[in-house]
Amino acid sequence: MPRYAISEHDWPHRHWDLFLEDGDALRTWRLLARPDHEATIPAVFTFPHRRIYLDYSGAISQNRGQITRWDTGEFCWVEDSPERVLIRLVGEQWQGTLELRHLAGEDWQAIASPWLTDSVPQSPQAEPGE
């Protein structure tokens, strides 16, 4: 099962980096607001990051601030297209679905939908037919 992490980053301005494990690298979006359940968050698609960021908190080289891991867990791909990414994730802070919609250029929109507490699965496996 692939892993994800969300890290708060204080440089060049406060944002949260969403890292999705995808082969040898992490597909990365910069979330421009705190990732809350049932929220629509402006996002920017950015360059692939090294897998070390799944577990890393601390200083970033070349004086690029600090990151603090906010959440981590596992996810599964439900849809992965150039215009839309839909994942199910189960983490320490976040359980639910996250939809990333491509708007234009590097601009995206992240839409979070939580699962009800009593229905959170132990694994983020996609349901048949999704």
Closest CA to 41 of 53, 25, 51, 29: 29
pLDDT tens digit sequence for 36-78: 777 899 999 999 999 999 999 999 998 899 999 999 999 999 9
- Grouping H, G, I as helix, E, B as strand and the rest as coil, residue 33 is coil
What is residue 114's predicted lDDT score, i.e. its pLDDT? 83
Strand (E) or helix (H) holding 70: strand 66-80
Question: Residue 101 above 80 pLDDT?
Answer: yes
Distance CA 99, CA 88 (A): 9
What is residue 124's predicted lDDT score, i.e. its pLDDT? 67
Distance CA 62, CA 41 (A): 28
